[in-house]
Structure 1
């Protein structure tokens, strides 16, 4: 027989409002079972709101709660059924600490979700507190509670995509609140129709308050923004512009290396072969010194860059043009000045960056908008990197929807 002080102590330790412990027992290999009783003697009818104390019947069952040290804890609770004194119909009382038809408390679910967001389903399930099926149910419940809300105070939106399976051409679109550095949407694909459907669910009021949208150089995103966000300025992300420049620069590097390797094979004299081998040595391991920002190069990389420029006048000019464009983006804060500088750059780059020049001309309005707004997808890229880490550790998720829920909860669960 437990003393009143022991019962009082266990009730305080359990710390659930409106609930008291009336007994407890411990079973080896199972854990601690606490029998609970509600302090209140009445409940409100969900149909008419009338408070009733007419007990109709009892429904006792066990639910899992937060462990106490190394011991699992089970709560033997009674979800009482009352009969409404006004409408005469029976109803089951609402218990704040456990959802209907759930075998665990809300606070245990919250703790488990936090653990899953830091690890993965299987490693959390191995602890034996809950099963993988229960964890997936917890995630779905949390998604209904936290992910239904529309974005609030959204002014600057970023749209991008990540590869679901690398190298398979399977991409999912992500929607980012750039001001809050927060993931607010994730779609299984990146088609215009899919993105349009999600944005329309936000409602006209949310869409009309968006002032800027940063996108990569894909027309589909641009069309959706123009159609649905009348007050938004589309801003082409400068990092994607530079990525286009880098692709063309790297393509020239590869072309020159292949050309030199062919010349070495066909060399007629030893002097000619020695000269081409010198050029090849300069081109080897030159990819990152050409593509990386020059200001970020180490002393060793700077020496290598000098070597590359010495053996290839074309790569020298292309690298200098690349660096000049980067400085234009970094140092210009006015669209008119930016337009003037960009026009001069385009006139000198036509011969060396024909594809990039065509891209810049097609996206000129969106690119020069950057000089005023300075909106980039830098935040988006940071979030995408975190999404990739989640993807690598999320092997416990059985489908995209579970992966999407985990990603969104990572940013919104503790907000």
Structure 2
């Protein structure tokens, strides 16, 4: 019974546009329809996570906007597949080895280039026990890498190569993740073309969580909105 609000942001200029009391599709469409039609037609890009109602909203109220899937949510989807596989593989191990898998959960999700010697050693140990987890980690790293390629054509080629590697790995969890990526592929290509992300929005969400913690919760969205605007003015 969570209550959700929505923060609308300008990802290019790093600005908060508004905070709304509902994230329901019909409520968002009603809100955006209060904007002048001429303004809505000028919106070029709509950056979002992979939540279908947001896509429906964008297609309804911003007819000329290209939908861009946020890369951080893509990475999260792949990380979730990896961590779920880690849990499955962990359950197959002896008690002593299960501890190794559990202690490696954050190490597995770290970027490969950020691992220190201890991190590499932890992964080597669990990969000996689970070749499937090693394949999954390599697929995770390959996906992260392709998101960093600056050239659009090369990015798309790398994505297609990743699809092939997922098929060859024969890991059900990653096969499902591949299906998710394929369903959103055109909007991922829009990311390759624009490099627009929800980075500012995610940073703002973290700030909002901090404001709520400091205030021991902020029950009224209007009060929360005022506190968020004040916090942005202090930057």
* 1:349 partnered with 2:166: yes
Larger Rg belongs to: 1
Change (3 A) 1:195 1:408: farther
C-alpha contact (below 8 Å) 1:214/1:236 kept by paired residues: yes
Ranked by relative contact order (alpha carbons within 8 Å, sequence separation 6 or more), the top structure is: 2
How large is the RMSD of aligned CA atoms in angstroms? Answer: 2.1
* 1:379 partnered with 2:200: yes
Q: CA deviation at 1:368?
A: 1.4
Distance 1:258 1:396 in 2: 37
SS in 1 for 2:91: helix
Distance 1:245 1:204 in 2: 38
C-alpha contact (below 8 Å) 2:108/2:123 kept by paired residues: yes
Match of 2:222 in 1: 401
- Superposed CA deviations along residues 63-106 of structure 1, whole A, max 9, x for unmatched, are xxxxxxxxxxxxxxxxxxxxxxxxxxxxxxxxxxxxxxxxxxxx
Distance 1:396 1:322 in 2: 36
Q: CA deviation at 1:310?
A: 2.1
Q: CA deviation at 1:281?
A: 4.8
Match of 2:188 in 1: 367
C-alpha contact (below 8 Å) 2:90/2:98 kept by paired residues: yes
Change (3 A) 1:399 1:318: same
Change (3 A) 1:257 1:399: same
- Superposed CA deviations along residues 216-237 of structure 1, whole A, max 9, x for unmatched, are 0011111111111122110111
Distance 2:217 2:133 in 1: 47
Distance 2:115 2:5 in 1: 33
Change (3 A) 1:206 1:314: same
Decide which structure has greater strand share.
1
Match of 1:179 in 2: 12
* 1:339 partnered with 2:156: yes
Matches within 5 A, 1:2-401: 169-261=2-94, 277=96, 279-334=97-152, 336-350=153-167, 351-352=170-171, 353-395=174-216, 397=218, 399-401=220-222
Q: CA deviation at 1:373?
A: 0.5
- Superposed CA deviations along residues 246-304 of structure 1, whole A, max 9, x for unmatched, are 1111011111111224xx6xxxxxxxxxxxx4x43542301111111111223322221
Q: CA deviation at 1:365?
A: 0.3
C-alpha contact (below 8 Å) 1:185/1:408 kept by paired residues: no
Distance 1:376 1:396 in 2: 28
C-alpha contact (below 8 Å) 1:394/1:403 kept by paired residues: no
C-alpha contact (below 8 Å) 2:11/2:199 kept by paired residues: no
Distance 1:343 1:199 in 2: 36
Distance 1:173 1:186 in 2: 5
Structure 1 gap ranges (5+): 1-167, 265-276
Distance 1:308 1:372 in 2: 38
Q: CA deviation at 1:171?
A: 2.2
C-alpha contact (below 8 Å) 1:211/1:233 kept by paired residues: yes
- Superposed CA deviations along residues 330-349 of structure 1, whole A, max 9, x for unmatched, are 12421x33222211211221
Distance 2:217 2:137 in 1: 45
- Superposed CA deviations along residues 135-161 of structure 1, whole A, max 9, x for unmatched, are xxxxxxxxxxxxxxxxxxxxxxxxxxx
Deviates more, 1:220-229 or 1:387-396: 387-396
